[in-house]
Structure formats: C-alpha cells, structure tokens
Amino acid sequence: MSAEIATPAWPLPTRKKNELRLRQLRVQSKTQIGRFWRIVLGGEDLQGFNSHSFDDHIKLFFPEAENGELRLPQVGEQGVVWPEGQRPPSRDYTPLAWDAAARTLTIDFFMHPGGLASGWAQQAQINDPLIVGGPRGSFCMPLEYAFQLYLCDETGLPALNRRLTELQAAQSDAEIHLLIMADEAQSKAYLPALAQVNYHFLPAEADAARAALEQLTIPAQGYFLWLTGEGARVKSLIDYLTEQRQVNDSYLRGVAYWHSK
C-alpha cells in the first residue's frame, strides 16, 4: 500500500498563464502621487486584459528617444515580430489597477533622474501612445496566511500598494510586517492604511534588511514572505532565510526588481 501524501496545512501559491498579447494604449490622465506619476492608460486593446497577482509584471515599450517613433509589432504564430528587427526600449512595471468596463489601466512610475520610464512619464501628455505587453503569467499568493512579510524599496511600492489594498478589501486579520527601504513619511502617505501592519523602515545599506529579518520571529507555519529589490540583495536574503532560518521556499517569493551595475 502506498503511503498517503500529506496535504499542506496552508494553501500553496499557484501559477496562471495568460495569452501573449501586445496592446497599444494611450494616456488618459496623469497625476502626481508623492514621488510617483500615476498614469491611466486606455483603449479598446485592453479588452481581455487580466492580472491575477499583485506582483505581476507587464512590459512597457517606449517611443524612440531620437524621433518619438513608437514601432508597432506583429503578433503571429512565430510570436512577436518587430519591424526591421528593431525592438523598442522597454521596462517591466506593475499593473496597479485596471477597469475592464472602462478599458483603463493604471500604472505608477517612480520619479528618479536618468530613468527611461521615469523620463517618459515626466514628459507624457494626454493621448501619448504606449505599447503594453503581458502579463505573461502570474504567481498567485493567497490572502489568508496568518503571518505575512513584505520587503521592498521604492521600486516595489506599487506592488505592495496593490497587495495591501487586496488585504484591506478582504478584511484580513493577518500579522503583517513591512520592511521598507524608502522614506517613511512618503511611503506611509502612498500606501493604504491597515490597522494591523507593523512598519519597519530601513536604510539602504546591504546589511540593514538582513539585520531586520534577524530580529523577527517567523512562525513554523502559516507564513508567506515576499522579497524584492536589488537582485544580489534579494538572493542573499533568500539564502539566509532558507539555509539559516529553514523557511520553506514554497512560501517564499523573491524577485529582482533591478540590478546594480
């Protein structure tokens, strides 16, 4: 007789795939929210758009800086084909919110000097075009984990905003810890307020996040940990949590949002 396989006490994250599509959208509105430009894109191409997870990534394709031209691709059986093989500059961003009925998609762009996407958002005008691809797939994390930890810098704040909004709507009673490497006042003003959230604001030094994690008690089960930011730092923290703290990597999500040069 074969041994029975034990069912996990807490639900595991799941993955979903989406149809590969590129959509040409246009700027409908632009608002400054703290250190972010909140840009609402719209268009009939948004029909069928879906985003299943708060940390989904969509790819934004920007006009050429030299001439403002936005190259339109063809999507066929061979995948995406760009004119003359010239792929336009692109960056990955979080879909903060979307309205299927109104055909709108909201994206927050963090303001920082020298950034391709930040520069585009700074100059964006109503009706400017943008090509949006994805999300190709979603890593879906249930809301009911009793202990939840989210670590990020400015680049992860839009995804964290979306997650806290979901937890707020679900009236979650989870113990939530936010480890944020960003300005405290601006981060609190940007994020939705939840009564049970424990804020930990950290300096940007490489060892600060590790030291903060060492001070936290992670329960033996019922947890989920989400780590984002600079790639090498995220990998180092994942190694610490899985090797020294024996965190089950099935309930751990680490994503490199950027890489230092």
Instruction: Look at residue 261 in the predicted model and tell me its pLDDT.
Output: 72
Based on the fold, state whether residues 119 and 151 are members of the same structural domain: no
Identity at 65, one-letter amino acid code: A
User: Domain range holding 49?
Assistant: 14-137
| The domain boundary residue, chosen from 137, 166, 187 | 137
Q: Which of 137, 172, 189 is the last residue of a domain?
A: 137
Residue 248 lies in a domain: yes
Low-confidence ranges of the chain (pLDDT < 70): 1-8, 76-78, 85
* pTM, 2 dp: 0.92
If asked whether residues 19 and 118 sit together in one domain, one would say yes
Q: Name the one residue in this structure whose structure tokens are 């949002």.
A: 257
Tell me, yes or no, whether 153 and 243 share the same domain. Answer: yes
How much is the pLDDT for 2?
45
pLDDT of residue 1: 43
In angstroms, the first-to-last Cα distance of the chain is 56
> In CATH, what number is assigned to the domain containing residue 86?
2.40.30.10
CATH number of the structural domain spanning residue 203 = 3.40.50.80
Residues 24 and 127 in one domain: yes
Structural domains in the chain (count):
2
147 and 133 share a domain? no
Domain membership of residue 4 (yes or no) is no
Residue 3 lies in a domain: no
Beta strands (DSSP E) in the chain are 14-17, 22-33, 36-42, 58-61, 74-76, 79-81, 90-93, 97-99, 104-110, 129-133, 137-140, 147-153, 175-181, 197-201, 223-230, 252-258
Q: Which of 31, 23, 22 is nearest to 109 (CA)?
A: 31
Residues 105 and 145 in one domain: no
